[in-house]
Amino acid sequence: MEKTQERPIFIFSKTCWDETPRIRHQLARMFLSRGHRVFFFEKPRYGVFAKPIFNLIVDEVTGNEMLLVTTHQVLHHQLRLSRILRFLNGVFEVYNIRSALRLIKKMGFAGGVEGALVVNFNYDYFFLPKAMRRQAVDFTILNDDFVAQARLFKGAHVKKSIDTMARKTKVNLAVSYPILKSIDRDNKAIFLPWADGEFKFLIKTEDERNKVLFWGHIDRRVDFELVRYIASSCPEFIFDFVGPVADSAKVISATLERDLENVVFSGVKDLSEININRYFCSIIPYKSGVADIEAVTASNKTFRILSYGLPLITYGMPSFIECPVVFKSASYADMVSNLKTVNLQIYDLQNELSQVVSQNTEEARYRFLMDAI
């Protein structure tokens, strides 16, 4: 790993690098592409006497080297219900992280810790400042509604952990407005995903633009009754679902494809592999009244889809971003109305789409982080 003049970056996550890319992967690559040395701490394993694990890789997207680090923990974070359990696990993890830092220096990364920028994705890492020998971490990013996800005590212990972590963080960031509101600190800001490429204007072609795109995981979140309703109400449009189908959704997806000629499940493709010439919008038809869905302000793919010139129509997501190229639906009928409106206005919306994407680029997010510290 070559030395750089930019500040080293330590990212702490409960995600493994080889998992489906999320905002922490985007963040690591943002720093890598700008000459930062990145140390990515993956999901901890369980073990009392195990040593930290290191894996020096070349990131396939940026072509730059990055050191993956795996430390160890004693208890799963949702089982640390009492203060004493959190304390004991914290003592162990401090020791384990410091052991990893000592080994990093021995591996030739001298100066990699001092002056580093610390980005934390773990709401319960109250011990991290002590492990890094500093008063506070630079950023803690809450990217999920962890209180709503907690299975015990209505998430009261999770809320306490979030409050403690927020006090030990210089700048608290959240990926949605409801999550941001739950942070009881003044030093907080919204931090949404971003577009990873330049905006691509849709141009008129001989092909009829009558296709609607869903690009993502097809699972319990999708409101299949809504899909049936909008497909039946709009026989002139083809609804193309691109992405992996979860086991729990295979029967209903096959039923819809059998019953409705204008519903298609096309398998897994990257967005860049899809011929956009026939599409006029993208949809997120999620179930309403689901806490973790209603907490979403922008999904990890939102601005990437917008960068392809496709407006977005949502359902069941009242906290989603407010902007002129996102059409939020409060009812099934609204969804149908929005589909017909966007189909007529698709080319008129291109300039607004371009403006929204230009305000949500990787460079804009990088400058925000650098200016915040």
Three-state secondary structure string covering 140-190: EEECCCHHHHCCCHHHHHHHHHHHHHHHCEEEEEECCHHHHHCCCCCCEEE
**What local confidence, expressed as pLDDT, does residue 70 receive?**
95
More reliable by pLDDT, 27 or 79: 27
Query: Do the Cβ atoms of 235 and 262 come closer than 8 Å?
Result: yes
Q: Is the dihedral of CA 124, 129, 135, 139 positive or negative?
A: negative
**pLDDT tens digits for 289-324?**
988 888 899 988 999 999 999 999 999 899 999 999
Query: Do the Cβ atoms of 175 and 143 come closer than 8 Å?
Result: yes
Q: What letters, b where the CB count within 10 A reaches 16 and e where it falls short, cover 70-79?
A: bbbbbeebee
Q: Which 3-state string (H, E, C) describes 34-94? A: CCCCEEEECCCEECCCCCCEEEEEECCCCCCEEEEEECEECCCHHHCCCHHHHHHHHHHHH
Residues 6 or more apart in contact with residue 148 via CB below 8 angstroms: 155, 291, 292, 295
More reliable by pLDDT, 19 or 47: 19
The residue-averaged pLDDT of 107-136 equals: 86
Model confidence band, residue 75 (pLDDT cutoffs 50, 70, 90):
low
Model confidence band, residue 131 (pLDDT cutoffs 50, 70, 90):
very high
The residue-averaged pLDDT of 162-172 equals: 95
pLDDT exceeds 50 at position 2: no
pLDDT exceeds 90 at position 158: no
pLDDT exceeds 60 at position 336: yes
Whole-number Å distance between alpha carbons of 186 and 181: 10
pLDDT exceeds 90 at position 218: yes
pLDDT exceeds 90 at position 154: no
**What local confidence, expressed as pLDDT, does residue 1 receive?**
42
pLDDT exceeds 70 at position 195: yes
**pLDDT tens digits for 262-283?**
999 999 999 999 999 999 999 9
Percent of the chain with pLDDT strictly greater than 70: 92
**Average of per-residue pLDDT values in the chain:** 90
Phi, psi dihedrals of residue 356, rounded to the nearest 5°: -60, -45
Whole-number Å distance between alpha carbons of 131 and 153: 29
Choose from 17-21, 97-101, 327-331 the range with maximum mean pLDDT.
Answer: 327-331
Whole-number Å distance between alpha carbons of 173 and 171: 6
The residue-averaged pLDDT of 142-151 equals: 69
Model confidence band, residue 159 (pLDDT cutoffs 50, 70, 90):
confident
Model confidence band, residue 156 (pLDDT cutoffs 50, 70, 90):
confident
More reliable by pLDDT, 328 or 290: 328
pLDDT exceeds 80 at position 88: no
Model confidence band, residue 72 (pLDDT cutoffs 50, 70, 90):
confident
H-helix segments, 184-237: 224-233
Out of 87-96, 226-235, 266-275, least confident range: 87-96
**What local confidence, expressed as pLDDT, does residue 112 receive?**
62
The model's pTM is: 0.86
pLDDT exceeds 80 at position 210: yes
Q: Quote the tokens at residue 206.
A: 């001989």
Q: Quote the tokens at residue 247.
A: 């086991």
Whole-number Å distance between alpha carbons of 127 and 118: 13
pLDDT exceeds 60 at position 79: no
Helix (H, G, I), strand (E, B), or coil: what is residue 242?
Answer: strand
Q: Could you give the C-alpha distances from 243 to 42, 256, 271, 372, in angstroms and in order?
A: 26, 16, 10, 36
In degrees, to the nearest 5, what angle opens at C-alpha 338 toward C-alphas 335 and 342?
145
**What local confidence, expressed as pLDDT, does residue 161 receive?**
83
**pLDDT tens digits for 247-266?**
999 999 999 999 999 999 99
pLDDT exceeds 50 at position 106: yes
Whole-number Å distance between alpha carbons of 112 and 108: 9
The residue-averaged pLDDT of 120-135 equals: 93
pLDDT exceeds 60 at position 217: yes
The residue-averaged pLDDT of 96-115 equals: 81
Within its chain, how far is the Cα of 211 from the centroid?
A: 26
